[in-house]
Amino acid sequence: MSMPTSLVPSRFLTLMAHFLIVVNIFWSREDNVLACLPPSYTLHQYQNRDTELIVALSLTLGMFLIELLGFFSGVSMFNSTQNLISVTAHCRVPSVCPSFVFERWECWTYWYIFGFCSALPACIEIVLVVAVFGLRKKPL
């Protein structure tokens, strides 16, 4: 199997692994919110952190939807550059997110993970979709 075609299943598998990790964080959201708070906290602080984490995880799921639509539409499925970027970004998540869940990082650190691992590949996916469908260009 050549390099470009071997990246297609790798991209799908890493994307699904990242999706499952985000769903797992949603299920254990209460524990993660409590880890973000000081030992003595108010209900208002808890609600703010909970809302922040819900927004971040919801945006991540939206980015998955964008990337999966581009992937399954065929626009970027065989684009080796996008596949490599996506595999790299989503492969970092399984090594970084368990630290977020188990080591009890602060909640604001999830925004860095979101930016590199979800927003970057989704933005590139949007550019490819616009280029292919909007401008009627061949994928790079």
Average pLDDT for consecutive 10-residue bins of the chain (140 residues)?
A: 70 88 86 83 92 92 91 85 87 63 68 87 90 72
Please tell me the pTM assigned to this model.
Answer: 0.83
Residue 139 lies in a domain: no
Quick check: 64 and 19 in contact, CB under 8 A? Answer: yes
Number of domains making up the chain: 1
Q: Angle at Cα 31 formed by Cα 65 and Cα 51, nearest 5°?
A: 55
Residue closest to 116 by CA, chosen among 137, 138, 90 = 90
CA distance 49 to 123: 26
Residue 66 lies in a domain: yes
Residue 70 lies in a domain: yes
Quick check: 27 and 101 in contact, CB under 8 A? Answer: no
Residue 16 lies in a domain: yes
The pLDDT of residue 99 is: 57
The pLDDT of residue 4 is: 58
Residue 140 lies in a domain: no
The pLDDT of residue 2 is: 53
Residue 124 lies in a domain: yes
Containing domain of residue 27, as a range?
3-134
